[in-house]
Structure 1
Amino acid sequence: MEELSHKRKVTIMMAIIAAMFFSAINQTIVSTAMPRIIAILGGMEYYTWVITIYMLTSTIATVLVGKLSDIYGRKPFILAGIIFFIIGAFLSGFSTDIYQLIIYRGIQGIGAGIIMASAFTAVGDLFSPRERGKWTGIMMAVFGFSSVLGPTLGGWLVDNMDWKWLFWIFLPLGVVAFVMILMLFPKAERKASEKIDYLGSLFLSLTITALLLGFSWAGTKYEWASSQILGLFGAALVCLVIFIFVQTKAKSPVLPLSLFRNDIVTLSNIIGFIMNAGMMGALIYLPFFVQGVEGISPTYSGYVTMPMSIAMVILSTVIGRLISKTGKYKRYAVMGLPIMVAGMLIMAFMNSVWMAVVAMIVFGIGLGVGMPVFSLTVQNAVKPSELGVATASSQLFRNLGGTIGIAVMGTIMQSALKRNMEDAAASGKGVDFSKLDPETAKELAAFQNPEMLLDQPKLEQLHQTLPADVQPVFTQMIDMLRDALSSSLTTVFLAGAALVVVATILVFFLREIPLRTSNKMPGEEAPEGGNKQDGKVKLVKAEPVK
């Protein structure tokens, strides 16, 4: 599609951006309101599963669609992704318990994975690596804008309307995106020589599923050394070995192992994995500080995260243009990741809403500077025929990192919270229920759960219904819960920062090659630059960019 006119390319990009925004806004609009939704539906112990299932299904969909879109083209998969996402969002609004919400969010995840894999690869089809820098920055800005609008709107909706509308309000945008893709996106011809790697797809999916379930349940539902968790990790290892063997024999492997002989692809994917593990694993718990520790409503909680998104929108757009102008990208990763670390360290020690805002600004600057780099590094290092599967591999490692990070941070959070509450009780800071009458003590003990902190209206209502002599005891219990939650979040943010530090160190070892001005690899035969002789086009070899 590189030969299309610039006007047609821009029109197609508008359709792609509409589809991406539909997926992104539906994700961010729920983020701030999720603690309240969990408080309404119940099941705080399954809080991470609502996110984990979304990441799990989107991860599997992303990697499978990468190779399939190389065979069949991007258009049918973007359309299918929008349909899956619409169905998942529609059903999520009808959830009556946490289990239904998890299932329906899984369906949404399938749609999101397909949309994102196809959209980022389509940009590679349309533009040369040098031009992709600008468009990657714009696409990052779309995520940033959805992060500005989504949390604020989500907080307002959950405070003023039924939470179901969080999932339904943008469904018309999905229909518009579907029509735009259907009308504008060119249809690609199937590569007849390519065959679908069914066996490889099966064992890759089984590997990912067993691995993520193991990390999600370890330390929460089961002990890390339990037979269930060891069995899942063992199953993941066996499936991985079989998958690798299948890939060595497959004529058209779903994830070619030859990709990982490329040091740029391998190191970029490792950095993306570690960075997302630290970043996503920690940031998912930011609403717990704002709403649970500081007692801010979901509406104002969205305002706290807004500066991060604004900084990311501005910086990613500017950095994307600079990358396209200079053809250099490594310097921005070297600058961006340390700034992200600084933001996360501020999160670890924040003790007010204003410190949270400062942390968000610093983190957003780092995110905007560093994040546009790693999709470009992978796409620039592979042949156009491998664009889909290479982009999918990049997103696979990022999603795996994010999902495992969320699961591990969830375990850290729960363990730290339990330990802090036990320490508070042992040190005498806890509530002495023996001084209350048995009936009141029993009633208050039932509410000695950090989940109470996430529903401020219910908390205030309960406080008002208690007898005057019991209210000070209730206030003491809430303060103890907030202190325990705050200390636990410090542990989570420090763990996340440590992982991003590791990713920062690895960036220095990333080999940089100039961004090409054509989708043709250096040395390939290319009609561009040829000259006509006797009515024929003389083919010349494309020179490497210097």
Structure 2
Amino acid sequence: MITELSQKQSLRPLILVSIMLAMFMSAIEATIVTTALPSIAAELGGFSLYSWVFAVYLFMQAVTVPIYGKLADLYGRKPVFTFGVICFLIGSILCGFAPNMLLLIVFRFIQGLGAGAVQPIAITIIGDIYSMEERGKIQGYLASVWGFSAIIGPTLGGFLVEYINWSWVFWINIPIGIIALCGILVFLKEDFEKKKHKIDYIGTILLVVFISALMILLLRGGVTWPWLSGPVFLIVFLTAFAFVLFMLQEKTTEEPIMPMWIWKYRLILVANVVSLITGILLMGISNFLPTFVQGVMERSPKEAGFVLALMSIGWPIASTIASKTMIKFGFQNVARFGTVFLILGSSLFLFINQQNGVIFGGIGAFLIGIGMGLTSTIFTVSIQSSVEWNNRGVVTASNMFMRMMGTTIGASLFGGIINTRMIQYLEKVQLSEEIDLNLDLTNHILDPEKRKELSSGVVQALQDGLTFSLHTVYTIVFVLAIISFILVNYMPKAPQYNSTKVTNR
């Protein structure tokens, strides 16, 4: 069975390069798609489905991360990683051919099914072949991947959308993924002990039902159905019922996909809960900042991408700093410092408007990137250092799951808030001209050509409605940043483990 230092030293750099390519594929996907989506929505239509493009992708990531983490501990890292990359590439190819928003959402579902394995298993492999002291330095290398993708991704995305075709924001993944996959298949050697295992199918199904119901509730509640209605009550019951059954199943099954023992230790508990909160916070900024810049400020996709890129630039810078300072200053202190930056960054978004959007949005995004880089690096290294090899996959996956669960909740929650608040605002607007102000009309302000077809009064009403809706989102983001700061203070100062379990309580 592979351990931290059993991998041949000469092969580790080649494995690291393959891992970095896989991480780059995941990172550039985020920056390109987020920047390009307003233009995609303008062409394909269906602004009410806008959040589903993010939510369904993040949903599949969140659902499959703990499953892949458990499978990686049971059957090895290589086969799970291979399946994930292949599935991701198939989904990417299909997304580029999507003729409408509905099919794009279906293909993003497939892409997310593969994405759930790429990042957590890549990070787990790094945890296997490098010691804790080396891992901090390697985390800095991985963080630099996000910095590079942040610089090239938005610019490349804007170029592809404006001058070629938006399909290429998905197809750009194909050569990168193939090279990364070949590197892992050739250079990663796993001497894995094959044993008979039991897969927690019941737990998997219950987890899918729980997250699916929660996502539907957040996206459609108050939009398709009133909050105080029969369908909403039914979905709330289904969500709670599936969650309770999942918890009971994981406590009693022999090999659970989400072992309950990991939640008994303060380090993992705090790291995972804060990761959930910061995942929600992240979606409040990254999903709708390009929409604000393009729709309200009437700037180009390249400019929107640049503003959002500042977050991704701040992230790797902070991650590198965290990797070099966490031993000297302590895990808790560095994580606490990260949440301070989250508060500072989110506070600027409370004052964003049509005049200062680029300045406040850019600085705020950069500060939030700093905060995310500091906290995420600390959480990853600390929980990996808290357990032995055969539990490392599942605890790494648990942290990734909570962060992705946060992004899923955030995309669904804030998407529902945007839709609800836009509807409420437009219903109150009285225009002299005879035009039905509705949610789907928002598609027009995302496209410069379609925007010209509307009168100045209609454009201003839609832009004011979007600004009004986003201020609600940014207020929630600010509150979440404060909560994350409070929780980090309960984090233990340093991780350590014995031969079987976490000992730092």
Shorter-chain TM-score: what band? over 0.9
Map 1:123-162 → 2, pairs under 5 A: 123-162=126-165
Specify the alignment match of 1:385 in structure 2: 390
Specify the alignment match of 1:453 in structure 2: 445
Q: Deviations over 1:487-530 (max 9, x none)?
A: 2212211111111211111001111225x6xxxx4468xxxxxx
Q: Compared with structure 1, are the counterparts of its residues 210 and 481 closer, same or farther at alpha carbon in structure 2 (3 Å cutoff)?
A: closer
Q: Deviations over 1:455-486 (max 9, x none)?
A: 113323x26xxxxxxxxxx1122123222222
- Cα distance in 2 between the residues matched to 1:205 and 1:415: 26
- Cα distance in 2 between the residues matched to 1:509 and 1:11: 39
- Cα distance in 2 between the residues matched to 1:309 and 1:111: 23
- 1:234 paired with 2:215, answer no
Map 1:367-378 → 2, pairs under 5 A: 367-378=372-383
Task: Name which one, 1 or 2, has greater alpha-carbon Rg.
Answer: 1
Q: CA deviation at 1:327?
A: 7.5
Specify the alignment match of 2:362 in structure 1: 357
Q: CA deviation at 1:111?
A: 1.0
For 1:358, the aligned partner's letter is I
Q: Deviations over 1:207-251 (max 9, x none)?
A: 222222222322222222332232223223222222233223322
Specify the alignment match of 1:501 in structure 2: 482
Alpha-carbon contact 1:282-1:409 (below 8 Å) kept: no
Between the two proteins, the alignment pairs up a number of residues equal to: 497
Map 1:140-289 → 2, pairs under 5 A: 140-192=143-195, 194-289=197-292
Which segment is superposed worse, 65-74 or 16-25? 16-25
SS at match of 1:221: coil
- What is the CA RMSD across the aligned residues, in angstroms? 2.3
Map 1:267-346 → 2, pairs under 5 A: 267-323=270-326, 325-326=327-328, 328-346=330-348
- Cα distance in 2 between the residues matched to 1:488 and 1:379: 39
- Cα distance in 2 between the residues matched to 1:386 and 1:445: 54
Alpha-carbon contact 2:4-2:128 (below 8 Å) kept: yes
Specify the alignment match of 2:4 in structure 1: 2
- Cα distance in 1 between the residues matched to 2:177 and 2:108: 16
- 1:396 paired with 2:377, answer no
Q: Compared with structure 1, are the counterparts of its residues 495 and 126 closer, same or farther at alpha carbon in structure 2 (3 Å cutoff)?
A: same
Specify the alignment match of 1:529 in structure 2: none
For 2:432, the aligned partner's letter is D
Match among 92, 97, 101 for residue 100 of structure 2? 97
Alpha-carbon contact 2:277-2:406 (below 8 Å) kept: yes
- Cα distance in 1 between the residues matched to 2:315 and 2:161: 25
Match among 421, 430, 449 for residue 426 of structure 2? 421
Which segment is superposed worse, 220-229 or 379-388? 220-229
Alpha-carbon contact 2:34-2:286 (below 8 Å) kept: no
Q: CA deviation at 1:66?
A: 0.7
Q: CA deviation at 1:263?
A: 1.7
Q: CA deviation at 1:418?
A: 2.5
Match among 11, 23, 34 for residue 20 of structure 1? 23
Which segment is superposed worse, 401-410 or 325-334? 325-334
Alpha-carbon contact 1:72-1:188 (below 8 Å) kept: no
- Cα distance in 2 between the residues matched to 1:388 and 1:450: 43
For 2:450, the aligned partner's letter is K
Q: CA deviation at 1:305?
A: 2.1
- 1:409 paired with 2:414, answer yes
- Cα distance in 2 between the residues matched to 1:215 and 1:144: 32
- Cα distance in 2 between the residues matched to 1:174 and 1:448: 35
Specify the alignment match of 1:540 in structure 2: none
TM-score under structure 2 length normalisation: 0.92
Alpha-carbon contact 2:69-2:393 (below 8 Å) kept: yes
- Cα distance in 2 between the residues matched to 1:212 and 1:336: 28
Q: Compared with structure 1, are the counterparts of its residues 224 and 190 closer, same or farther at alpha carbon in structure 2 (3 Å cutoff)?
A: farther
Alpha-carbon contact 1:282-1:406 (below 8 Å) kept: no
Specify the alignment match of 2:491 in structure 1: 510
Q: CA deviation at 1:399?
A: 1.2
SS at match of 1:476: helix
TM-score under structure 1 length normalisation: 0.86
Q: Deviations over 1:404-462 (max 9, x none)?
A: 1221112222222233334443xxxxx312xxxxxxx45x86899322211113323x2
SS at match of 1:32: helix
- Cα distance in 1 between the residues matched to 2:299 and 2:191: 50
Q: Compared with structure 1, are the counterparts of its residues 210 and 416 closer, same or farther at alpha carbon in structure 2 (3 Å cutoff)?
A: closer
Alpha-carbon contact 1:29-1:149 (below 8 Å) kept: no
Q: CA deviation at 1:193?
A: 5.3
Alpha-carbon contact 1:74-1:118 (below 8 Å) kept: yes
- Cα distance in 1 between the residues matched to 2:499 and 2:28: 42
- Cα distance in 1 between the residues matched to 2:252 and 2:463: 56
SS at match of 1:83: helix
- Cα distance in 2 between the residues matched to 1:447 and 1:176: 42
Match among 108, 115, 122 for residue 111 of structure 2? 108
Alpha-carbon contact 1:30-1:150 (below 8 Å) kept: no
Query: Once the two structures are aligned, what percentage of the paired residues are identical?
Result: 32
- Cα distance in 2 between the residues matched to 1:275 and 1:363: 10
- Return 5+ residue gaps in structure 2 as ranges: none
Q: CA deviation at 1:191?
A: 4.4
Q: CA deviation at 1:293?
A: 0.9
Q: CA deviation at 1:376?
A: 2.1
Q: CA deviation at 1:95?
A: 0.6
- Cα distance in 1 between the residues matched to 2:374 and 2:439: 44
SS at match of 1:233: helix
